[in-house]
Structure 1
Amino acid sequence: MSLELLSQLESKVQVALETIELLKMELDEERANNRTLQQQQQTLQSENQELQSQLQQWNDKVNGMLDRINQEVKEAL
């Protein structure tokens, strides 16, 4: 009877070890995915900052042109 219990315990330990190994593999995959996502996030943040800078430059140019137009209209009147 005790050999049977020992065999069952051994089976459960083996299943637990296999489960732990699978979880470790999944954790490694998730860490790799996380690193990839962090790199993508950094790239997107850099692109976003560049686009915001370009947008500000365009806004400044448009506002400058509008100011010149308004000034010329005032001078013409």
Structure 2
Amino acid sequence: MSIEILEKLEAKVQMAVDTISLLQMEIEELKEKNATLEQESSELRSGRGSLEEENQRLREDHQQWQARIRALLGKMDDVE
């Protein structure tokens, strides 16, 4: 009778060891995915910063063009 109990206990311990091993492998995979996602996130943030700078530059260019056009239109009004 005690041999049966020991065999059941051994089976449960083995199942627990197997489960722990699988969970450790899953943790390692998730750590790798997390590292990859962190790198992608960093790259996207960097790209976003570049786009924001370009957007600001384009807005400034747009404002300069508007000022030039207004000045030209003002000169045309003076001619009439």
TM-score (norm: length of structure 1):
0.95
Name the counterpart of 1:19.
Answer: 19
Paired AA for residue 67 in structure 1: A
Name the counterpart of 2:7.
Answer: 7
How many corresponding residue pairs?
Answer: 77
C-alpha deviation, 1:42, in angstroms:
0.2
Give RMSD over aligned pairs.
Answer: 0.7
C-alpha deviation, 1:55, in angstroms:
1.0
C-alpha deviation, 1:76, in angstroms:
2.2
Task: State the identity as a percent.
Answer: 35
Distance 2:2 2:74 in 1: 104
The 4+ residue runs of structure 1 with deviation greater than 6 A are: none
- Confirm whether residue 57 of structure 1 aligns to residue 63 of structure 2: no
TM-score (norm: length of structure 2):
0.92
Name the counterpart of 2:31.
Answer: 31
C-alpha deviation, 1:75, in angstroms:
2.5
Structure 2: which 5+ runs fail to align? none
